[in-house]
Chain A
Amino acid sequence: MQEGKNLLDILEQTKKAIQKEDTATIKNLSDRTNNTVAKTHDPDNITLAVIIYAMSKIIERRQYRNYPGWNKFYKNVNVYFDKLIYCLRQKNEECFSETLKLIRAEIDNLSGKLRRYIQDVFRKAEINKASKIYEHGISLEKTAKLLGITMYEVAGYSGQSGIIDETINKISAKSRIKIAMEFFK
């Protein structure tokens, strides 16, 4: 666990935003984790970034609340968020890591459609976070490995989301074409 103070602030604000169902704030808070993740590659930071982003989507989709298992899931996630805050205040890394695992395990405890939908939200949250890390200058392959997803997923999402529009090119496209054409002579 790195940048504990920053994470504590993010978590405390996320907890409040979840209670207010303020999904825009939750997404912004999730984005605040991107810098830390890109710099440190810390697995707990990565997991937390994914969880916060996924929560913004889960809260946004009000229809999930009608499915069996929702109340227990929502209640438990809130309890785990309190525990994450507690672990950070105690500077207890092991407790923090274990609690993150418990949140992920909570999805496995679900059943039926809600389980499928929330699994899908988490999967998409992983791809979204991966594209944000790629946007921060970490390579495609490294990013895919950090999030445990395939390069195909990161490439496809990044290509369509416009993330790679911000290219750095010392060599112009024209010069690169020249190199390619000469190589194929």
Chain B
Amino acid sequence: MKILIFDSSTLISLVMNGLFEEIRQIKKIFDGKFLITKEVKNEVIDRPLNIKRFELEAIKIQELLDDKTIVMPEELKIDSSEISRKTYEVLELANNCFLSNGKEIHLIDAGEASCIALSKHLNEKKIENLMCIDERTTRNIVESPEDLKSFLQKKIHSRIEIKKNRLEYFSGLKIIRSAELVYVAWKKGAIKSRDKKVLDAMLWAVKFKGCSISEDEIREIQKI
């Protein structure tokens, strides 16, 4: 069993482009489950359900849950409260790794941390999993904390220290973005058109709705 864990940022990039049917088609070619945590559900469904401007997106994601395209951890007999508990550990670690003038910079929040907590939990149970995260900060904490340190120094204009021992926790986690998901869908025929222009359009569409991908990376993907 393989698990793809969706962060709020990825679902937002996809659904704001109306790619609901595409998510269903990708699921059909995937031998595993698409999972979201309780914290992510709160961000993409529960809260926007009360905001008229995003109510439709919330309802459409709820439909993905209703038809089991996406499932909650309980579907795999994983207790969400256990993931929530681990989420606080992740928050404590991640938000105390980077310091500016000796003070911690709180970089991430519960939804993002819950994806890491779930991925770690699945790793402990030897269940193959991948996180799908479009926003860059969480991805950088996991993949390239030193680069994130340089980035923060440049942006905040102050010296940043890293507590490296705390970062070990994040090693061994794997991340893709909606851009790679769109590519897989296109390559594996989950999207009807084989036209490269469709792939190009989808990559730009997810970028314009928040997927952290550069123009150079889009060009790199187009050349594959």
Contact of A167 among B109, B180, B212 (CB under 8 A): B212
- Near B by CB (< 8 A), chain A positions 152-174 give 152, 154-156, 158-160, 164-174
How many Å lie between the Cα of A49 and that of B182 in the bound state? Answer: 37
A76 proximal to B (CB < 8 A): no
- Near B by CB (< 8 A), chain A positions 128-185 give 134-142, 145, 150-152, 154-156, 158-160, 164-174, 176-177, 179-181, 183-184
A5 proximal to B (CB < 8 A): no
Per-residue interface assignment for chain A, residues 59 to 85, with 1 indicating a CB less than 8 Å from any chain B CB and 0 otherwise = 000000000000000000000000000
Are B147 and A177 neighbours in the complex by a CB distance under 8 Å? Answer: no
If A139-B137, A156-B16 touch, whether A177 touches B224 (CB-CB below 8 Å) is yes
Report the interface size for chain A: residues with CB under 8 A from the other chain: 42
Chain A neighbourhood of B209, CB < 8 A = 155-156, 159
* Interface class of chain A by DSSP: helix
Chain B neighbourhood of A181, CB < 8 A = 184, 187
Contact of B106 among A41, A135, A155, A173 (CB under 8 A): A41
Are B54 and A173 neighbours in the complex by a CB distance under 8 Å? Answer: no
**Residues of B in contact with A (beta carbons under 8 Å apart):** 2, 4, 8-9, 12-13, 16, 29-30, 43-44, 47-48, 51, 53-54, 57, 100, 103, 105-112, 128, 130, 134-138, 140, 143-144, 147-148, 151-152, 155-158, 174-177, 179-181, 183-184, 187-188, 207-215, 217-218, 220-221, 224
Nearest first, the 7 closest Cβ-Cβ pairs linking A and B are A155-B210, A170-B144, A140-B135, A139-B137, A173-B217, A180-B180, A141-B109
